[in-house]
Amino acid sequence: MTFHMECTPAFDFARASHETEVGDGGARFRSDGLTLGLGSDVPVKSHGRGVVADFSLDEGDEASFVLGEADGEATGDLRLPPTLQNELLQGTVDYWHHWLSQCTYRGRWREMVHRSALALKLLTFDPTGAIVAAPTCALPEQLGGTRNWDYRYTWIRDAAFTLYGLLRIGFTEEAAQFMTFLEARCRELDPDGSLQIMYGLDGRHRLVEEELDHLDGYRGSRPVRVGNDAYDQLQLDIYGELMDSVYLYNKYGSAISYDLWVSLRRLVNWVCDNWQREDEGIWEMRGGRRHCVYSKLMCWVAVDRGLRLADKRSFPADRDRWLRIRDEIYEQIMERGWSDKHQAFMQSYDSETLDAANLVMPLVFFLSPSDPRMLKTLDAINRAPEDGGLVANNLVYRYNLLASPDGLPGEEGTFNICTFWLVEALTRAGRADRSRLEEARLMFERMLGYANHVGLFAEQTSMSGEALGNFPQAFTHLALISAAFNLDRALGTRD
């Protein structure tokens, strides 16, 4: 068989120039501040700003190419000895076999759960323990549209949910690594005592967004953006997800330290002082702040988990105030978040639109899965969009763009994590109503069919079944793990 290899680096998103130097065993690409080396078993030749190679392999033949950072001053051979190549390959295979053997999940759909666990592990930045939301930027939510964002950062929300997913199936070491990252960020609070919603993988705070006008995005979708201005938004829900993940880590991982508790106590006090504010919400809307019901819900979770942690570990805390604030949040959500007209919890106070994020209410033990208000919200969401719901062909939109403009032009696909949230909400409601459990199973198995050929999911799915948004997305895979875990348990050892 004949093969054609091409390697053309584009330093700094094709904004920085570089020199290409071809030599024995490959090529070097030298740019200011970074040199890449390509080790090659076959001769390469210059082609534009890169190199190419044309070669043929017969049965049993091998060829290898190794690309990585290189010494900018060196000039030697970049090839690896064949024995070392084989050792590295076998070592990689052995590492992943050993790592996956630690998984405690033994239920249905095990291969998909394993694939999701592998994806989450690969989205972990080992030096700091940070978990990236997705390894890509500017993959569009609408082909040809402008909803193209950079997800190569650590969102407190995404990573906290990921921590829960990993703990659920036995990966406590990764959870401990992320707790180290969280502790470091808790020592770097903003002057007012708050956290940012997201950070760089190395912990940096400023993630300034810019558009790269010289690049075309996927299938012509522009603009291409790097950086993310959402880092400066107010999203009150992150404190609930953070406190819930710490609570679970303390329960299923290792006991947290007093020093971490001091930082967490400060954050809970900040929530008590600020939960009444409007914010941009979980979906990072750019159309102005609102009293988002999901944000209030997670403020309740933050205070509730703070109280649980304090009682579990006998930590000092302002319990009387926390109890009063927790109950005040609860009553306000039930009064202002519920719509008698629509018989459902809405996206924000006084709004006329649903939000799939409210499916999380029974998942965080705010409401019983069989509470009449929760069942009515579940039924309202689980209708077709033309009937006022958010579900089309078993896929769930996060909200109705027409009824609730988010300050951005264009459309988007169904949101994969919301589909798995609906599966889990139906699963929990199915303990009292078997028909809901059967619906949850059917919806889950249909959803698995939208994964790509190696079992990975993007952020969204189009109405034609095409992947949209950044890929693969941690948010989606952690929700798959949680839905599979709870659905399998609800179905029992025998259906």
What's residue 410's pLDDT?
Answer: 62
Model pLDDT for residues 186-238, shown as the tens digit of each residue? 888 888 888 888 999 998 999 999 999 999 888 888 899 999 888 888 899 99
Asked if pLDDT for residue 382 goes beyond 90, the answer is yes
Residue with tokens 């409007």: 278
What's residue 284's pLDDT?
Answer: 74
What's residue 317's pLDDT?
Answer: 95
Asked if pLDDT for residue 401 goes beyond 80, the answer is no
What's residue 155's pLDDT?
Answer: 87
Residue 49, judged by CB atoms within 10 A of its CB (0-12, 13-18, 19+), counts as: middle
CA 354, 340, 375 angle in degrees (round to 5)?
60
Strand order in the sheet with 2-7: 2-7, 50-56, 45-47
User: Residue 465 phi/psi, 5° resolution?
Assistant: 85, 10
Where on the phi/psi map is residue 26: left (φ > 0), alpha (ψ -120 to 50), or beta?
left
Asked if pLDDT for residue 159 goes beyond 80, the answer is no
What average pLDDT does this structure show over 76-99? 92
Contact 292, 398 (CB under 8 A): no
Residue with tokens 């592990």: 121
Please tell me whether residue 251 adopts helix, strand or coil conformation. Answer: helix
> Which region among 102-116, 238-252, 320-334 has the lowest average model confidence (pLDDT)?
238-252
Mean pLDDT, the chain, rounded, equals 90
User: pLDDT: is 58 or 399 the higher one?
Assistant: 58
pLDDT class of 458 with cuts at 50, 70, 90: very high
Q: Which domains are seen in the chain, by residue range?
A: 2-80 (no CATH), 110-491 (1.50.10.10)
pLDDT class of 493 with cuts at 50, 70, 90: low
What's residue 185's pLDDT?
Answer: 86
**Strand extents, DSSP E, 190-304:** 198-199, 210-211, 225-226
> What six digits make up the tokens of 449?
């069919």
Residue with tokens 């404190």: 239
What average pLDDT does this structure show over 242-267? 90
What's residue 409's pLDDT?
Answer: 60
Model pLDDT for residues 272-283, shown as the tens digit of each residue? 999 999 998 888
Buried b (16+ CB within 10 A) or exposed e, 123-150: bbbeebbbbbbbebbbbbbbeebbbbbb
What's residue 481's pLDDT?
Answer: 94
What's residue 495's pLDDT?
Answer: 54
Asked if pLDDT for residue 21 goes beyond 70, the answer is yes
Question: How many whole angstroms separate alpha carbon 442 and alpha carbon 355?
Answer: 22
Asked if pLDDT for residue 388 goes beyond 60, the answer is yes
Where on the phi/psi map is residue 464: left (φ > 0), alpha (ψ -120 to 50), or beta?
alpha
What average pLDDT does this structure show over 399-411? 67
Model pLDDT for residues 345-356, shown as the tens digit of each residue? 999 998 889 999
What's residue 265's pLDDT?
Answer: 93
Asked if pLDDT for residue 472 goes beyond 80, the answer is yes
- For residue 30, how many C-alpha atoms fall within 13 Å in the half-sphere facing its CB? 9
Model pLDDT for residues 285-299, shown as the tens digit of each residue? 767 788 999 999 999
What's residue 188's pLDDT?
Answer: 85
Amino acid at site 328:
E
What average pLDDT does this structure show over 454-473? 92
> Which region among 72-76, 125-129, 362-366 has the lowest average model confidence (pLDDT)?
72-76
What's residue 403's pLDDT?
Answer: 66
How many other CB atoms are found less than 10 A from the CB of residue 19?
Answer: 10
What average pLDDT does this structure show over 11-39? 92
Q: What's the per-residue H, E or C state across 122-186? A: HCEECCCCEECCCCCECCCCCCCCCCCCECCCEEHHHHHHHHHHHHHCCCHHHHHHHHHHHHHHH
DSSP annotation of 77: -
What's residue 404's pLDDT?
Answer: 63
Q: Cα dist. 26→8, 71, 270 in Å?
A: 13, 14, 56
Which contiguous run of DSSP H or E holds residue 406?
A: none
> What six digits make up the tokens of 363?
């998942």
